Structure 1
Amino acid sequence: MTETNHDQAEYWGKSASGMKWLTFEEQIAASFAPVVDLLLERAALKPGQRVLDIGCGLGDVTLAAAQAVGPGGHVLGVDISAPFLERAGLRASGMGNVGFALADAQSEPFAPAERDAVLSRFGMMFFSDTVAAFANIARALKPGGRMTFAAWGPLAGNPWFYLPHRAATDRLGQMPKVDRNAPGPLAFHDIDRVTGLMAEAGLADIEAQAVDLNLTPPGGLEGAAALCTRLGPAARVLAHFNGSEADEAAIRDAVSAALEPYVEGGEVLMPATINLFQARRAGTA
């Protein structure tokens, strides 16, 4: 693997925090299923197309895209985490139109002009050089091929982030400030900044839209609160301050209380703002 994002490889492939995504695989897939639906709807894949899924993780988008393109198409899922790819491969067992590759998409020499479409759910925000990554990924597209990717919108529109963060910092204190545009989950919150980077990378027909939807964490209020405490901002605050089991329980209870307004029929429907980006590789097919 040609690697230019070593810190990301270490985090997602080896750290305890990254490995939690394996532990909570089913809960995460259920929570983010509406984002997969949005991505596939906007990508409008066709039977027989060849697709590249960037930051495929455990394969949620890869498998959904494989169904869309059918046996005559193909989907290659790319990720920087070997454990994630191992799990994704098990999920895709028996599917002849799916493959996976351990690769850093910013620098990997993909086969040029070989894919009809690029997809990504929350996989584009972590590159050390976003312009270089966009340009490299675009080279894998056929001329006129389309890139469609979803990223988190502004913090204020995403209680998935701000409610657990508030509960954790109220309990343990504030963490050091970070640049919100630095590589990380919220790095693409500013649509204008990201579309500018896409243009700088040479992409054409750039479109972007903030889409409001509901995340669907399973397990009712208790399950949603537990998931939000064990992943994301609350987990990072707990790790930073070496929080105790009592701290985790208190934070989970605070998150549960904060999520109560989003309970409908016993299930949590958590509002989210997703930035949806699309562009084409310059040229015509």
Structure 2
Amino acid sequence: MTIVNEHQEQAWNGYEGRHWAAHQARYDAINSGFNEVLLDAVGPGDGVLDLGCGNGQLTRLAARRSGAGHAVGVDLSAPMLDRARASAADEGVDNVDFVRADAQVHPFPPAAFDVALSRFGVMFFADPVAAFANVRRALRPGGRLAFVCLDDVRRGDLGAVLAPLAAHLPPAGTDGGAPGEPLSFADPDVVRGVLADAGFVDVACDPRQEAGTWGRDAADAGDFLAGWGPIQHRLGPLEPSVAERVRAALVDAMRPYEGPEGVRLRNAAWLVTARRPG
């Protein structure tokens, strides 16, 4: 296995990957509102490639949608792929495989897939043009690409919730805009340029907002958010008393979003679609 994205390989096989694997149901509850807009790209009999598949919920749903087709989920994270395989076995989804690989350089069979999907997994490529060119080669001529990527967090509810961290974080909406970072595709012009350079055509970027459930109540949601990798990384160096005040402020910031279904936050994203020429 060849890996060029060593920074992400370390993160997703370290604390970040273990946290996502341990909280599989929680992360699916946060992000699953975007499943249907992605699954619209999948038809009966399709071969599906899921990029940055994580715990594999979207991959398994795509496998079911494709019926007689097949789905392959690719990720760097061994802990999450273990969860993905176990979930597929528990659910009886047998037309799916999970592969630990770096999608930027992995030797996918050429023209083997009808559609490539991703739910918040493509923002982390170290060289996005090279990665998407590799994905394009894996698609048949005319094959489809559909993914969701993070928009500026200030357009959803998370920006307001993160306000208590303002003294310890870069301004909301500007952190992570470099290649390989969470907000690297927040600018649709960047997305269009990357995909065009990678050989895709008919690129469209549509803004989407979907609500996700972060916890049972404010205390549960705030505690979970404090353990989320990007937040945990910044809380770690703080004095314990300061970190505890920030955690308490996160709980308070969650209170306006409490409801009968738990704490629900609107997630802002771009739905990006494109196709391989041919």
TM-score where L is the length of structure 2 = 0.91
SS in 1 for 2:73: strand
Alignment correspondent of 1:262: 257
2:214 maps to which of 214, 217, 221? 217
Q: Does the alignment pair 1:122 with 2:120? A: yes
What displacement does 1:34 show?
A: 0.5
Equivalent residues of 2:158, 2:265 under 8 A apart: yes
Task: Trace 1:202-241 onto structure 2 (pairs within 5 A).
Answer: 202-239=199-236, 241=237
1:47-86 map, 5 Å: 47-70=44-67, 72-86=68-82
TM-superposed CA distance for 1:178, in Å, is 5.7
**How many residues were matched structurally?**
274
Correspondence for 2:247 = 252
Amino acid at match of 1:267: G
What is the DSSP-based 3-state SS (H/G/I as helix, E as strand, rest coil) of the residue aligned with 2:215?
coil
Consecutive unaligned residues of structure 2, counting only runs of 5 or more, are none
The alpha-carbon deviation at position 247 of structure 1 amounts to 4.2
Question: For residues 273 and 184 of structure 1, what CA distance do their matches in structure 2 show?
Answer: 16
Point out where structure 1 has 5 or more consecutive residues left out of the alignment: none
CA distance in 2, matches of 1:113, 1:162: 44
The residue type paired with residue 77 of structure 1 is G
Identity of aligned residues (%): 36
Cα separation, 1, equivalents of 2:261 and 2:61: 27
Q: Tell me the equivalent position of 1:10.
A: 10
Mapped to 2, the partners of 1:74 and 1:68 lie a distance apart of 10
Between 177-186 and 222-231, report the one with greater CA deviation. Answer: 177-186
What letter corresponds to residue 258 of structure 2 in structure 1?
V
The C-alpha deviation readout for 1:139-189, integer Å capped at 9, x for no partner, is 11111110000000013113335633x32344xx34699662331111110
Corresponding position of 1:110: 108
Listed one character per residue, the Cα deviations across residues 20-49 of structure 1 (whole Å, up to 9, x for unaligned) are 1122221111111112233223x2x11211
Q: 1:35-54, aligned counterparts within 5 Å? A: 35-41=34-40, 43=41, 45-54=42-51
Indicate the SS of the match to 1:125.
coil
Distance (Å, rounded) in 2 between the aligned partners of 1:23 and 1:248? 23
User: Are the aligned partners of 2:176 and 2:183 in contact in 1 as well (CA < 8 Å)?
Assistant: no
